[in-house]
Amino acid sequence: MLIVPLSSSGPEGATVVPLPPGETGLPGPSFVKGHFIQSFPKRALIDRERRVLSNTRMREVVMAIRRSFDPDAPWPER
């Protein structure tokens, strides 16, 4: 399984996607860090509860991951 970690802080940039508290279930804003994608064994998960991102948000995360290894990937202005 591939995971993309969240952080409670993060600079704006091509590989960081900010998420509001309501979207993550966490008390404060979170930042998806596409440049830290990593593999993780499913059996190591403690809790398998998951949150589903909207299709639009998921596309933003995928583009952040792509920009982490493809310097020519598009980066829309926010």
User: pLDDT-based confidence at 60, cuts 50/70/90?
Assistant: very high
CA dihedral 19, 24, 29, 33 (to 10 degrees): -60
CATH number, domain at 30? 2.30.30.110
**pLDDT at 75 > cutoff 80:** no
What is the C-alpha separation between 48 and 26, in angstroms, rounded? 16
What pLDDT, in 10s, does the model give residues 34-54?
Answer: 999 999 898 888 876 677 889
Of 48 and 78, more confident: 48
Rounded-to-integer distance, Cα 42 and Cα 25, Å: 21
What total of structural domains would you count in the chain? Answer: 1
pLDDT at 19: 92
23: containing domain: 2-69
In a domain, 76, yes or no: no
Residue 76 pLDDT exceeds 70: no
